[in-house]
Structure 1
Amino acid sequence: MLVITREEGERIVIDDDIVITVVESKRGSVRIGIEAPLQVAISREE
C-alpha cells in the first residue's frame, strides 16, 4: 500500500487516465473526486 499526504486541491494520477483529487478535508473526514474512463469500475468499500 502506498500512503501519501495531500492537501486540498492536490491530485494523484494513475496510469495517465485516472485522477484522484482531494476536494475537502475537515474534522477527520476527507472528500475526494475521481475522474476515470467510463470502462473503469469504481466501487467503495465501507
Structure 2
Amino acid sequence: MLVLSRKKGESVIIQDEIEITVLGVEGDTVRIGISAPKNVDIFRKEIYLSIQEANRESAAQSEAGIHNLLQHFKNPK
C-alpha cells in the first residue's frame, strides 16, 4: 500500500485519468473529491462489498437452478 500525506487542496493522480483531491479535514473525517472517466465505477468500500456479496448469492442461486434443470433432463419423470 502506498501511503501519502496530502493537505487540503492537494491531489493524487492515478494513471493519467483519475484525480483524487483532499477537499477538507474536520476531526477524523477527510472529505475527498474524485475525478474519473464515466466508465470508471467508484464505490464506498462498504457498498462495494455489499454488491460483491449480492453477486455471489445470485451466482450461487443461478448455479443451483442450472444444476436442478440439468438433473431434470438427466432423470425426466
- Shorter chain as normaliser: what TM range? over 0.9
Structure 2 gap segments, 5+ residues each:
47-77
Structure 2 residue matching 1:33: 3-state secondary structure: strand
**How does 1:6-45 map onto structure 2 within 5 Å?**
6-45=6-45
TM-score by length of 2: 0.57
Structure 1 gap segments, 5+ residues each:
none
Q: Aligned residues: percent identity? A: 50
* Aligned residue pair count: 46
Q: What letter corresponds to residue 7 of structure 2 in structure 1? A: E
Q: Which has the higher helix share?
A: 2
Segments of 4+ moved more than 4 angstroms:
none
The separation in 1 between residues aligned to 2:26 and 2:41, in whole angstroms, is: 27
Instruction: Give 1:15 shift.
Output: 0.6
Q: Which has the higher strand share?
A: 1
TM-score by length of 1: 0.93
